[in-house]
Amino acid sequence: MYQTTIKKPVELVGIGLHKGSPVRLRLEPLESNSGIVFYRSDVDVSIPLIPGNVVDTKMATVIGKDGYVISTIEHMLSAVYAYGIDNLRIIVNADEVPVMDGSSASFCMLLDEAGLQGQDAPKKVMRIKKDVIVQEGDKYVKLSPSPDLKYDFTIKFAHPVINKQEYVLEFTKESYKNEIARARTFGFLHEVQYLRSKGLALGGSLENAIVLDEKKILNPEGLRFPDEFVRHKILDAIGDMCLIGMNFIGNYEALAGSHDLNHKLTLELLKDPENYEVIELVGEKTRELEKAYA
């Protein structure tokens, strides 16, 4: 199995969640072993996708370099990861990735338009060898060894529409597109009002998020899935785990996980080389993974 990039450049324009201004996003192919690299065209700054470049995880995953940042990268990266793309240049002309409809569906369509191109270097993946866990109170995120890839996420919210939800994704590209990609981000009306008072979430609307008041969903069309909330948490987790620099083989499990806990998990994983091994997918052992990304 070989590394993958896109066949041709593609782009779209959407609204930034926090500034509420139009943002142009462009994807370009990169050579083998280049990894995922973000580029701010407005300030001529490249930001490689590595855990050390994460500068904020409160409301979204934010990377930065030399004082310049790119926010809300996780939805775009979730699609990139799900498509098994190893090398890609992601160009934006502002400090955030456009939010689109609050899911990764638009980014999947953009990648379908770009097409995938095999390259000349073997694909590298990280095989999880030992349990790695980050826990804060009763919240935790965990990686454990497994011959395949699974995401098991549980959330608990004291809200009548959400309550407790659990979802298990047996990962393949197809299961991601069918079960996860369309799940939108969500927030509570009082949080949105507070953020706007601080000059944030100016682009947030019922067009790009599920918004809840104290008792109900405010979106007139309702939910795309009965458990859309926990499915979106898996979408976020897949994007956040992109920061390890390659696809991995193992199980991800979370109870009330967050961008912050996911970032700490990537740091904890990479801190000890005994936790993992990087393998090149050649010969027989590639077949199952090739099915996953078909």
Tell me which residues are annotated as active site.
259
Alpha-carbon span 211 to 218, nearest angstrom: 6
Helix (H), strand (E), coil (C) string for 143-186: EECCCCEEEEEEEEECCCCCEEEEEEEECCHHHHHHHCCCCCCE
The CA angle 106-60-6, to the nearest 5 degrees, is 40
- CA distance linking residue 5 with residue 78, whole number of Å: 15
Report the alpha-carbon distance of residue 37 to residue 49 in Å, rounded.
6
DSSP 8-class letter at 286: G
Half-sphere exposure of 269 (CA within 13 A, CB side): 30
